[in-house]
Structure 1
């Protein structure tokens, strides 16, 4: 490459708006730019100052032309992304993979029926809005993969294309946002378009954003969060200006939207939070050319606290307020929630039919989580277990899934009760006995190890004829969940824990089943862990007993919807979401591990048609993903080599290039790290689509590194100048012919790989023998029936 001419020295008092005719070769010459003298500047940052006064009048012709070309390119990319995502959006015309869940949730918003899910509600509310605007009545149940949306014979005409269109719009806009991020970071049009193209022509992004799924909104809001913070950072020399506040507030708003789609939005918070802490650390530096007073620094700190913590929290709360406001009727999610929560839902059958329990009532008791009945029968525990332990050989007490007379238990008082009236009501913290009529015995637990869980106590029964010898061991305290003194114990809604009085253990059951001698029924035992949430039970129903009818006075209470404090509802749901999210540990044939994701080693079969040899298979663009991996690796290599060289007194990279590389590309890398590495610490079920936010970040890194390799300069500066800024000279990054050829080849290769994998993406074309045999050449776990 020919040597570029050296730029003349710049006098700070001059206008500094003259542009060199050719780009300055910053690596071939050791040409240092003049140091800036800017209010609020930091030596570790790019002091990228642009004078705004009369800027349009003094803007060079090439700048105007590039701006027009830049906007045109961005618009074309978004249009092309829309074509790629909307093409054939009506196929498959049946339910695809997780549309089973998220289509169903969207229908619940239209029907206004309460449901429970581990994800926050924003994406699902948007899908519900798309269905509502498309004319969906919410009656299609999205029950099974492959169920047809349109079936004239069955009277089905679900407007699924309209519901799929909203994620497709989000996916198309994401491509434009990625391009915008790169342009605002100072990269040329071609480089910015290449990064956007890695998202535009990525098969996994396309699949996830053309179906009724959550990730389209998640990725869009995540990218808008990054863009907003970059725009805010450009205004760091004009703190507290209107634009400064606007972009800082929009960062907080989009962070809340990201978190409102999925809990992984917390990782985007961590990304922005790290950048904010680094920024504040620089502002605190007393060695700055213009150090801030602590009062001024406190204003910066308070502004970020309000806009990046208070505002997002308020917006996040508003999503749940709207969620509760819409879903005000009983639905499938009732049983996950507390009795107080269920009382807020119109038509909740459990609470409408709840009755106060009285002593001597015969009831059935069920476990809240597993729905098993508390059960006993005449069979006994074996004297000796397989591991050699000795049991009490008492009567078995188990969890049983079906209705049976052996599920009946009578509430026996331990104190005198009146013949009638409210004095017979069993209340919170009353001491009772549970009598088993079918075997004429009382429930008992004692200090003997249970059959399966040796750390827990065995539950058994003791015959009524000899009750005096073990009376104390049959005493249990009824502790209502969040109960208050004197609160009546009720059927259906009265969740309780049964606490053994002498030993303080709680009656508990898990998923462990007894061997053949226990008829494969669920083990019941006494758990010493008082915080164990799975020790919660409820009285299911009162068994009819004519002899006690006279003891009941008045008609059954007609229940009305009872309001509940919003924050109590909010925090109850947050805890349940986190608990159940962590509990998604079951095996899945298409689950994958984080180590596989960057290399695109596995995917997910969304839908299969064996007759026509068609399949929708979610997998990334192999070439595009490997370019991103190489970009990450090269960046780490460059930073390492630069650190070693500087250790030896060599400056291989100019300061302004190094600042851009470290601060901007480093920001993208931090985003990738936060959106990727935390998954290694998660024990829950994971899939390749969890890598999508990290993949977007890696596409930004790849474009930045490609710019570093292919161009000799950067677009410089890119930030907005303050009112007292000493200006720097401008540089313009120019894509050489050689660089253009390299970009063209890489782009065509990425598009070609997208085309090759497109039958998996769209599923509308029968797979060729070459594509069907691709499984043998890769580690793709395609449907084996193809």
Structure 2
């Protein structure tokens, strides 16, 4: 009775209704900014205000949040500054914005059900896999907040569903339906990739499956005509490469088309990019720099000023190395007279006019105004990095080390003779004799340098972080009027820039900054811990009433998935080992399903999980959610094998065949619903028990917090002290 279309429709209807109920339950609580809503809510406001921002993730999911915010009447003026900021007091229609991920998270459940049904599994098995996500606390928590993961997982599941529908039509290749599901796979894959940076793993997973598919088509027995193979190859190239890339590009086209005003993301971009934004400082206040101007110079990434003061480097550092005992050159984060440097020419100049403008490729000196010494670097190790050179200064009237004070000015992406300008004239300063680049990093010097930032010479002159810019002209050159020189160059209207140049510049920056997210975080965790739920993330706390949201999965469901993955590996491994000894323990129909259906899910799980072991950036348990979804599908396949395939198919050992008796089929019809029903009850019990940590209400006493810490490694707030701690 469980396999009739009516039963299937009723089942998926119940699952979907439960999904909406669980994800919309008290979605208005808390009425405060929670965890990364500080980022993604803020990005939505930037779309509404049309102000340019920078983020490491592609824009599709954030565009949807911006659209949802606009639709529910958000004016974009709430800034989402800090976790705990009140939505209610600031009249933010946050429930409407949270409804978007809640809807997508709810619709993921029928898609999972559809994946299992289209893969040939029974209604009860499909319901089992869907229940693993339906009743999961982590998926529920992520789907109720203004976060990207619900969008990512929804389109990932649609990608899998579409690809399975496409593969089922392999004997109807090039039919309209075949093309439709192929293109749908590509479009949903682009949406997954466009939702979050790790969505590209879905692209790799589908790519791996396609390579296996093409390898099978290449078989001479199946495709004697190579022209047929190339038709298949071309179709997949169009549907799974060209179309997804065009869709992915379209997200950025819309992104750039909306964000036309100057915003907080300006400084991440090149000067050419910044000049395309209305109201950008480069358009309004950029000044040409002339020799003998006194300027302040800042590092592009860390924003510290190039600084010097009378204090000297100590004779010996803590590790015993000897310094030059020269005047300290450091990075300082605040405005100060010791940040002023005068640009000294190394060539003959006219007395006045544009011939005195500093240009790309010029060789210059920098005079520290307060101490009347010139910037110098030499073959002496820097204080914190023995492989890099020390920067110091030298008296301006002592020419014995003149060559060591010469620096080549290289403007970034400049043409020959281009003028150096304030704000946007990003440059490298490369020492002429030693070819090291002026560079800094965030590590602070000891007390003898007042814990200011180290400046040193990087021996790789093209180092991408060795970029500086002139913040302002503190004093114009003698006889020059600062305002007069801007009359002919000040630009009011934004400039244009080729879309593809903007796209590739942003892609490069996204990759660089994503890789640079290496700072420690109290709730960061390692991938090996994720499947076992050894740690979670504190999303939000409220001392009044001792309420908190702690992202953690349903222990029953996650550990079931771990066991299922282990069983799958054991089954496949045992079968392969037995076949090496001439034993055929699993019949071909069953084995094919394990390899093809469940194997596809395992590929999805592996490709969405293993790459995180190779990353050095901050990692959190929510990065495992796509893999957890795949493991839920594997769990359904394993349960089907245990309850169905091992009974309904003959088992052959050394030629001895046995077949299940008719009574076993009737027994199976009772067993499967009972097993799945008991499991669903256990999942619901765990969900309800952990619900105060998922929904942030009701508050728990210290003893109740301890009781809800199912694993000792969970770092929950408001816990009561144990006897041992007292």
**Which TM-score tier does this pair reach, normalised by the shorter chain?**
over 0.9
Contact 2:292 2:477 in 1 (8 A): no
Instruction: Identify the residue that residue 555 of structure 2 maps to in structure 1.
Output: 622
How far apart, CA to CA, are the structure 1 residues paired with 2:694 and 2:369?
Answer: 62
Is the 8 Å Cα contact of residues 444 and 451 (structure 2) preserved in structure 1?
yes
> Residue 186 of structure 1 contacts residue 714 of structure 1 at CA under 8 Å; is this kept in 2?
no
- Which runs of 5 or more structure 2 residues have no equivalent in the other structure? 650-663, 721-726
Separation in 1 of the partners of 2:91 and 2:450?
47
Work out whether residues 657 and 714 of structure 1, in 8 Å CA contact, stay in contact via their aligned partners in 2.
Answer: no
Of 574, 580, 598, 2:507 maps to 574
The corresponding residue for 1:7 is: none
**Residue in structure 2 matching 1:90, options 7, 16, 28:** 28
Structure 2 length as normaliser, TM-score? 0.94
Q: Where do 1:22-171 residues align within 5 Å?
A: 66-151=4-89, 156-171=90-105
Please state whether the residue corresponding to 2:247 is helix, strand or coil. Answer: helix
> Alignment partner of 1:150: what SS?
coil
**Cα 1:384/1:613, change in 2 over 3 Å:** closer
Q: Which secondary structure does the structure 2 equivalent of 1:548 belong to?
A: coil
**Match of residue 737, structure 1, among 657, 660, 670:** 670
Whether the 8 Å contact between 1:168 and 1:216 is mirrored in structure 2 is yes
The CA distance in 2 between the partners of 1:190 and 1:531, in whole Å, is 60
Cα 1:363–1:250 shift into 2, 3 Å:
same
Which one of the candidate residues 375, 386, 400 is aligned to 2:332?
Answer: 400
What is the distance in 2 between the residues matched to 1:575 and 1:449? 32
Q: Distance in 2 between matches of 1:194 and 1:252?
A: 28
Residues in 1 aligned to 2:706 and 2:41: alpha-carbon distance in whole angstroms:
30
Cα deviations by residue, 1:567-595 (Å, 9 ceiling, x for unpaired): 11111111111111111111111111111
CA distances 1:528-568 after superposition (whole Å, capped 9, x unpaired): 11231121100111113483325955626331201111111
Shift of 1:181: 0.1
Per the alignment, do residues 70 and 430 of structure 1 end up closer, same or farther by CA in structure 2, a change over 3 Å counting? same
Gap runs ≥5 in structure 1? 1-61, 717-731
Partner of 2:412: 481
Aligned pair partner of 1:385 in 291, 297, 317: 317
Please name the residue that 1:58 is paired with: none
Shift of 1:733: 9.1
Shift of 1:738: 2.0
Q: C-alpha separation between the residues in 1 aligned to 2:258 and 2:23? A: 30
Measure the CA separation in 2 of the matches of 1:125 and 1:603.
28
Change in 2 beyond 3 A, CA 1:776/1:298? closer
Q: CA deviation at 1:648?
A: 2.6
d(CA) in 2 for partners of 1:608, 1:441: 54
Are the equivalent residues in 2 in contact too, given 1:150–1:158 (CA < 8 A)? yes
Give the match for residue 654 of structure 2.
none
Cα shift readout 1:64-103 (whole Å, capped 9, x = no counterpart): x712221222122111100110011000111111111111
Q: Is the 8 A contact 1:94 1:149 kept in 2?
A: yes
TM-aligned CA distance change 1:774 to 1:396, over 3 Å? same
Partner of 1:307: 239
- Checking the alignment, whether the CA contact within 8 Å between 2:58 and 2:195 is kept in structure 1 is yes
What's the offset of the Cα at 1:287? Answer: 2.8
Q: State the match for 1:232 in structure 2.
A: 166
2:691 is aligned with 1:775? no
Quote how far apart the aligned CAs of 1:758 are: 0.9
The residue that corresponds to 2:538 in the other structure is 605
Secondary structure of the equivalent of 1:783? coil
Q: Do structure 1's residue 557 and structure 2's residue 493 form an aligned pair? A: no
In the alignment, the residues of structure 2 paired with residue 586 and residue 321 of structure 1 have an alpha-carbon distance, to the nearest angstrom, of: 32
State the secondary structure of the residue aligned to 1:237: helix
* Distance (whole Å) between structure 2 residues aligned to residue 777 and residue 427 of structure 1: 63
Q: CA RMSD in A?
A: 1.9
Q: Deviations for 1:730-753, whole angstroms, at most 9, x for unmatched residues?
A: xx9985112221121111111111
Q: 8 Å contact 1:713–1:733 — kept in the other structure?
A: no
SS where residue 548 of structure 2 aligns? strand
How far apart are the structure 1 equivalents of 2:516 and 2:243? 31
Provide the C-alpha distance between the structure 2 equivalents of 1:414 and 1:777, rounded to a whole number of angstroms: 68
User: What does residue 505 of structure 1 align with?
Assistant: 436
Deviations 1:250-294 (A, max 9, x none): 111111111101121121112111111111111111133xx3411
1:211 aligns with 2:145: yes
What residue is the counterpart of 1:722 in the other structure?
A: none
For 1:96-155, what per-residue CA distance to the aligned partner results, in whole angstroms no more than 9, with x for missing partners?
A: 11111111111111111111111111111111111111100011111111111012xxxx
1:430 CA drift (Å): 0.7
Which entry has the higher C-alpha Rg, 1 or 2? Answer: 1
User: Residue 370 of structure 1 aligns with which residue?
Assistant: 302
**1:712–1:733 CA contact under 8 A, matched in 2:** no
- Residue 189 of structure 1 corresponds to 123
Provide the secondary structure at the position in 2 that maps to 1:389. coil
